[in-house]
Amino acid sequence: MQKRSIVPIVYILFLMLPIYWLIAMSFKTTNEILAGFSLFPQTFTIEAYVTIFTDPTWYWGYINSIIYVSLNTVISVCVALPAAYAFSRYRFLGDKQLFFWLLTNRMAPAAVFALPFFQLYSAVGLFDTHLAVALAHCLFNIPLAVWILEGFMGGVPKELDETAYVDGYSFPHFFVKIFLPTIKAGVGVTAFFCFMFSWVELLLAKTLTAVAAKPIAATMTKTASSAGYELGLLAAAGTLTIVPGAIVIYFVRNYIAKGFAMGRV
């Protein structure tokens, strides 16, 4: 048992190394970074963080990202819930084909779809809004949400539904009061995955925004090219992009563990 745990420990160390390097670098001065190799910051500075938190173009990047990611998570989960219920409980015309078609939407190379997306959202007047990014991310998040939720719902015996109807619950009442609480863990896991994939996607988010809803990732790319090689600032901004994800995963960790216990994620 003890010998086996070496494997995950080594793996986690491997995962942490680049992250450590990013964080260490964010506390170094640009001069120190370029001067040569140092394992720890020699002259510890939080200058990069000060810049980020005082400059609106920086911190609004974070706020924008968080807004459209949250919006997308809410939309994806709400829309996927009834659909997943339908897939897990009923057979209907074209259900299998529909399921596979949904899945195929993860396969389109986002790179070339960027331009049509830009045209589409400009045409409907949503360009440079948080809603545009949130809706665009539904393309790959909804299929995922439906799939995960369907798995969890499949684990709930059908008798639960039937008992509730016998007890005189209406469908919406049953769904909200009884069904949702039983698959709480599943909803948590789904929300987590939606958040994650929306947070990490950049290409569409960048394409669909200009100023008002510009995501943090886009701000970073711009800095990387315009301000020369401000590695410290870039590292600090990068470090800060890890924070929201880390917070979210901390909150849903028990759901995820439970989700695993249910055997389906």
Partner 1 sequence: MKTENQKAWFFVLPVLLLVAFNAIIPMMTVVNYSVQETFGDNLFFWEGLTWFEQLLNSERFYNALGRQFLFTFLILIIEVPLGIAIALAMPRKGFWVPVCLVLMSLPMLIPWNVVGAMWNIFALPDIGLLGYTLNHVLGINYDMTQDPIAAWFTIITMDVWHWTSLVVLLSYAGLVSIPEAYYQAAKIDGASNWSVFRFIQLPKMKNVLTIAILLRFMDSFNIYTEPFVLTGGGPGNSTTLLSIDLVKIALGQFDLGPAAAMSLIYFAITLLVSWLFYTLMNREDLNTEGER
Q: How far is the CB of 213 from partner 1 (least distance, A)?
A: 16
Does 211 bind partner 1 (CB under 8 A)? Our answer is no
- Is residue 152 a contact partner of residue 183, using CB atoms and an 8 Å limit? yes
Does 67 bind partner 1 (CB under 8 A)? Our answer is no
Stretch that binds partner 1, among 33-41, 48-56, 177-185 (CB under 8 A): 33-41
Does 186 bind partner 1 (CB under 8 A)? Our answer is no
Does 156 bind partner 1 (CB under 8 A)? Our answer is no
Does 111 bind partner 1 (CB under 8 A)? Our answer is yes
| Residues found in the chain | 265
User: Given phi > 0 = left and psi -120 to 50 = alpha, else beta, which region is 125?
Assistant: left
Quick one: 136 or 164, whose CB is closer to partner 1? Answer: 136
Q: Report the alpha-carbon distance of residue 80 to residue 140 in Å, rounded.
A: 12
Does 33 bind partner 1 (CB under 8 A)? Our answer is yes
- Candidates 52, 77, 133, 146; binder of partner 1 (CB under 8 A) is 146
Stretch that binds partner 1, among 41-49, 52-60, 95-103, 176-184 (CB under 8 A): 95-103
- Is residue 182 a contact partner of residue 262, using CB atoms and an 8 Å limit? no
Q: Report the alpha-carbon distance of residue 62 to residue 46 in Å, rounded.
A: 18
Residue owning tokens 């039983």:
182
- Candidates 200, 210, 212, 227; binder of partner 1 (CB under 8 A) is 200
Two tokens, residue 240: 């800060």
Does 5 bind partner 1 (CB under 8 A)? Our answer is yes
Q: Report the alpha-carbon distance of residue 252 to residue 89 in Å, rounded.
A: 27
Does 112 bind partner 1 (CB under 8 A)? Our answer is yes
Stretch that binds partner 1, among 43-51, 52-60, 177-185, 217-225 (CB under 8 A): 217-225
- Candidates 55, 82, 163, 165; binder of partner 1 (CB under 8 A) is 82
Quick one: 45 or 264, whose CB is closer to partner 1? Answer: 264
Nearest CA to 133 among 141, 243, 226, 50?
141
Stretch that binds partner 1, among 48-56, 177-185, 229-237 (CB under 8 A): 229-237
Residue owning tokens 């996927």:
80
How many Cβ atoms are within 10 Å of 63's Cβ, its own excluded?
Answer: 13
Q: How far is the CB of 181 from partner 1 (least distance, A)?
A: 19
Query: How many residues of this chain bind partner 1 (CB under 8 A)?
Result: 97
Q: How far is the CB of 228 from partner 1 (least distance, A)?
A: 14
- Is residue 25 a contact partner of residue 33, using CB atoms and an 8 Å limit? yes
Does 236 bind partner 1 (CB under 8 A)? Our answer is no
Q: Report the alpha-carbon distance of residue 39 to residue 46 in Å, rounded.
A: 17
Q: How far is the CB of 16 from partner 1 (least distance, A)?
A: 7
- Is residue 64 a contact partner of residue 216, using CB atoms and an 8 Å limit? yes
